[in-house]
Amino acid sequence: MSAAFDAVDLIRAKRDGRSLSGEAIDWLVDAYTRGAVADEQMSAYLMAVVWRGMSPAELARWTGAMIDSGERLDLAGVGRPTVDKHSTGGVGDKVSLALVPLVAACGVAVPQLSGRGLGHTGGTLDKMESIPGWRADLPLGRMRRQLGEIGAVICAAGAGLAPADRRLYALRDVTGTVESIPLIASSIMSKKIAEGTSALVLDVKVGSGAFMTSAGEARELARTMVGLGAAAGVRTEALLTAMDSPLGRTAGNALEVAEAVDVLRGGGPADVVEVTVALARLMLDLAGADSGTGAGGPTPDPAEVLARGEAYPVWRAMVAAQGGDPDAALPRASTVETVPAPASGYLTRLDARAVGVAAWRLGAGRARKEDAVSAAAGVRWLAGVGDPVEAGRPLLELHTDDPATFDRARVALTGAIAVGPAPPAATPLVLGRVR
């Protein structure tokens, strides 16, 4: 490690808009991870980054220092091409649950290191943990074996993977320094690069239910992350996908698992299927970029594999390998109330963020990382945007084990629903591709 710097000097430099040297960045990340730089000092530095940004060279070095704070996984012995996917988070986004076994069924291994939800966006691990017996934590050796045998893993990142990010993320969450594209990009990409996959596809959500509400910001974030991946030797591309309306027909943990299983059996909502297939095709393309094949032969069409239900056995094997019972009944809420359609006509708006906040308030999400979540809580909508609805008939179902949460969930939905005399013009789900 380089010689010590002075944290206050580095804070002043960034505050005044100057770029830090690579050695200074290495020292700052390492010293904070070791506890030699105090939380209040790093908080000041992060706020300076929010205001002043980072140069491309600074960001690449910052991301590299976060990766170097821990271990790097070696997936070379898996025996298949590897590719991962990351979503920036949305409402009803159960795509990973169907996507991982789908891509594995097409011959490519997917080491999906996932996280838990915070606020109105759901977490993949929270959803999977609604399956009785399923475990998120896997030792590295077991993860490798499962990738080789089944081709699919959804699990938590180990404590040794980019530990600097773990400390920095927790600090950003409580200091108002989350909203910075360089900090978001480095947080995501440090873990994804460290996991050792050879290719990565990013699903960058755009809209009211997404972290990035404007297409311009989402594209900038996508370009930044794709650049970091490419600089690290990981084939990386991104899709921008719409998140003004929630995906599918459910938001919640067990509710979304059940919907993902429907997709894997060849059914499910058309929007979930469309996004899943679009991401799968890109993942297979990147994973087979060197040979033109996904697993020693022509890469199958994931739309056909999904429609035939051929990914469902991979799902069952993946769940069972991690201690889950794929045949077990999923948790169901003890109390369900409905929200009626306000008028007759066509549903023209169902706001994704409002639905996500309602699900969160019913118990499906958490306000702090240490909060527990309810497996059974959530929201189901009985019509999608463009569908006909009838005044007074049930439009939404609110699921919870705590009836005291209903009032606040209904408040969250104020203004979220609009009905008009004609269906709205169709809008695309996939908004663009960033290479």
Half-sphere exposure of 221 (CA within 13 A, CB side): 29
For the chain, how many helices (H) and strands (E)? 16, 13
User: Is 235 designated active site?
Assistant: no
The alpha carbon of 146 is separated from its chain's Cα centroid by a whole number of angstroms, namely: 22
Contact indicator for 54, 170 with CB cutoff of 8 Å: no
Q: How far apart are CA 355 and CA 417, in angstroms?
A: 10
In contact, 65 and 30? CB cutoff 8 Å: yes
Our answer to whether residue 393 is catalytic in this structure is no
Cα→Cα distances 264→3, 197, 316, Å: 54, 24, 10
Both tokens of residue 200? 């990565």
Q: Is 165 a catalytic site residue?
A: yes
**Cα–Cα distance for residue pair 151/153, rounded to 1 Å:** 7
The helix (run of H) or strand (run of E) holding residue 114 is strand 110-114
Going from the C-alpha of 77 to that of each of 84, 109, 137, 149, 290, the distances in angstroms are 16, 11, 21, 12, 17
State both tokens at 9.
């000097």
Tell me which of 86, 120, 219, 235 is the catalytic residue.
86
- Phi then psi for residue 65, to 5 deg, are -65, -35
3-state DSSP call for residue 349?
A: strand
Selecting among 14, 167, 172, 219, the annotated active-site residue is: 172
- Please identify which of the residues 120, 144, 191, 316 carries the catalytic annotation: 191
Q: Which amino acid would we find at residue 407?
A: D
Tokens found for residue 70: 């821990």
Which among 243, 307, 278, 267 has a CA at the least distance from the CA of 92?
A: 243
Catalytic residue among 68, 165, 203, 262: 165
Q: φ, ψ for residue 110 (rounded to 5)?
A: -125, 105
Residue 86 among the catalytic residues: yes
| Active-site pick, 69, 114, 186, 187 | 187
Helix (H, G, I), strand (E, B) or coil at 246: coil
Residues classed as catalytic:
86, 165, 172, 187, 191
